[in-house]
Structure 1
Amino acid sequence: MRTALQPDDALLVVDMQNDFLPGGSLAVPDSAAIIPQVNSCIERFTANGLPVFASRDFHPTDHISFVANGGQWPPHCVAGTWGAEFHPDLRLPDSVIIISKGTDAGREAYSALDATPLSEVLEEKAIERLFVCGLATDYCVLASAKDLLDAGYLVTLITDSMRAVNVHEGDGDRALQSLIELGASTTTCNELP
């Protein structure tokens, strides 16, 4: 079934960065496979004159999430490095609004709303519904979508345009199910106009 886009819709592309894709320090399994769909989603929103947001981890070198600092992850997406850059095959429009998160060395921040200006920009642009895609389903997509739902936004997950880390088998499926239970809807890229 086609999903109609409305003037108060926006796309949130979560963390399509080199370190989360093949060759990166924290590559998400099968992550490269979603690049064509994510690009197609971006093109559809841009063609409809709708905003595209792209979140990114943008960590200092001593970030709390890194194993050396007591966290659970290898160093990744360190600000100013290749790993923090968006993947070169990702076709973000010139009008993209980049949201940097995890910039405070002492705080974890999986959500694109955590200590970022995203809420204010969404309010300023009168956005009511966000379509969410990217990496990773069970971490930053989950946290961002949950915070958007908690803030009263409508959330539609573009399920063929995201991938999970799956530290524990099924984490991605459980993340999607929990978001659906909280009120998120789902679609695929091909169902967008």
Structure 2
Amino acid sequence: MKLRSTDALLVIDPQNDFCEGGALAVQGGAGIMLLINRLAECFDTVIATQDWHTPDQISFASNHEGAAPFTEIEVAYGPQMLWPDHCLQGTPGADFHPDVAHAVVKALAVVRKGYSPAVDSYSGFFENDHSTATGLAGLLRDRGVTRVFLCGLAYDYCVRFTAEDAVREGFEAVVIEDACRAIAEETAAAAKASFEALGVGEIAAERLL
């Protein structure tokens, strides 16, 4: 696939807590970091996202008496999955994985999300209330970007929601499937079905390298 100057690479949450040994580890997460570095070399515009939570984040199971991680509750903005505490602001778990340092250094910007205690944020474009914008869409438009390629963690949550919102914001979206890892097979299948319905493309990294 031929890349254009109007393309951007979105590197989604390549953080320690989502890699092996982290608080919310995604199996194989660390293994994609060097591939993401190689992909970043191919793009003029690279942007990273970063979960940046406070201890009282609404999505932490520890903040709901008797609730267990990986169960769903209803909050003001709709259904919300509960997670183990992760990516706390200023902690090593919130830091970018060291193996992805090259891509992060190249990044034009780091979009921090999920820093409001009252609302979680999967998408790089909007918080989970689907109305509070992060500013990513405006940044991409200012750069003249029309197509985004996505990689990172996790395929079935933050990559998925970012890709879906990219299409809704008028961008073409392509997920680099082997440069992502998923939390669970069931939610990965749901993400793939959503991509097909919305016209989100999926390709292998080798087509870009």
TM-score, normalised on structure 1? 0.91
Asked if 1:110 is matched to 2:122, the reply is: yes
- Identity of counterpart residues, as a percentage? 39
Displacement, 1:93?
4.9
CA offsets, 1:49-68, max 9 Å, x none?
A: x1101001001111111112
Instruction: Give distance in 1, aligned partners of 2:12 and 2:50.
Output: 7
CA offsets, 1:14-39, max 9 Å, x none?
A: 00000000111000012122122211
Moved over 4 A (4+): none
Q: Which moved more, 1:76-85 or 1:35-44?
A: 35-44
Q: Report if the CA contact (8 A) 2:47-2:110 is conserved.
A: yes
Asked if 1:66 is matched to 2:60, the reply is: yes
RMSD value, Cα? 1.3
CA offsets, 1:76-114, max 9 Å, x none?
A: 001100011000111225341100000101001110011
Q: Report if the CA contact (8 A) 2:113-2:134 is conserved.
A: yes
Asked if 1:172 is matched to 2:169, the reply is: no
Q: Where do residues 129-140 of structure 1 align in structure 2 (5 Å cutoff)?
A: 129-140=147-158
Displacement, 1:73?
0.6
The aligned length equals 185
Gaps of 5+ in 2: 65-80, 127-132
Instruction: Give distance in 2, aligned partners of 1:103 and 1:178.
Output: 27
Instruction: Give distance in 2, aligned partners of 1:133 and 1:177.
Output: 18
Q: Which moved more, 1:9-18 or 1:94-103?
A: 94-103
Counterpart for residue 92 of structure 1: 103
Letter in 1 for 2:186: G
Instruction: Give distance in 1, aligned partners of 2:122 and 2:41.
Output: 26
Letter in 2 for 1:125: R
Counterpart for residue 50 of structure 2: 56
Secondary structure of the 2:111 match is strand
Counterpart for residue 185 of structure 1: 201
Secondary structure of the 2:103 match is coil
Gaps of 5+ in 1: none
Counterpart for residue 75 of structure 1: 85
Q: Report if the CA contact (8 A) 1:25-1:74 is conserved.
A: yes
Secondary structure of the 1:186 match is strand
